[in-house]
């Protein structure tokens, strides 16, 4: 599971450089996000631009990540493919996350909030 991290002033961008977050990858995903976010206090944007497929196990892992980041560090999502967006819509999990068209858009929204 390859996830790269990039820090802005206000947000940490985690880019998932994999095609799938599925049952075979869910545990690795959780562990990786936990390790990458351990040393800072910023909110997190999960950039899913390269992800083509998320199943219910992957969805559960993303929710778990939101939970361990806690109230003070929101987890936002960016760049959902049509089928990934459909999973979030059908499970109504889209209501639980702020979802942005791209990571840049998430950064812009955050900059506006802080201005």
Partner 1 sequence: MPDGKLTSAMDALGGMTAPPDVALTFPANDAAVRRAMSTIRQGLRQHALSELSIGTLELVMAEACNNIVEHAYENSGRGVISLTARCLSGFVQFEISDTGKPMPGLAPPTKRKHDLNAALEQLPEGGFGWGLIRDMTTSLIYRRYGGRNILRLCVEVFPEDYDQRSRTGY
Residues engaged in binding partner 1 (CB under 8 A): 20, 22-24, 52-53, 55-57, 59-61, 63-64, 66-67, 70-71, 81-83, 85-87, 89-93, 95-96
- Minimum CB separation of residue 3 from partner 1 in Å reads 18
- Do 20 and 50 touch, CB atoms closer than 8 A? no
Q: Angle at the Cα of 72 (from 80 to 17), degrees rounded to 5?
A: 30
Question: Which residue's CB is nearer to partner 1, number 7 or number 23?
Answer: 23
61 within 8 A of 26, measured Cβ to Cβ:
yes
Select 96 or 98, whichever has its Cβ closest to partner 1. Answer: 96
Minimum CB–partner distance for residue 114 and partner 1 (Å):
22
How far apart are alpha carbons 26 and 21 in whole angstroms?
6
By C-beta, is 30 or 107 nearer to partner 1?
30
């Amino acid at each position: 599971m390859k996830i790269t991290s990039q820090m802005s002033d206000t947000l940490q961008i985690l880019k998932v450089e994999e095609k799938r977050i599925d049952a075979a990858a869910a545990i690795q995903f959780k562990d990786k996000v936990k390790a990458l976010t351990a040393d800072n206090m910023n909110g997190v944007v999960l950039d899913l631009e390269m992800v083509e497929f998320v199943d219910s196990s992957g969805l559960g892992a993303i929710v778990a990540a939101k939970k361990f980041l806690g109230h003070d560090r929101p987890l936002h999502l960016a760049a959902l493919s049509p089928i990934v967006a459909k999973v979030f819509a059908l499970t109504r999990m889209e209501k639980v996350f702020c979802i942005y068209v791209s990571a840049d858009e998430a950064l812009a929204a955050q900059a506006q909030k802080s201005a």
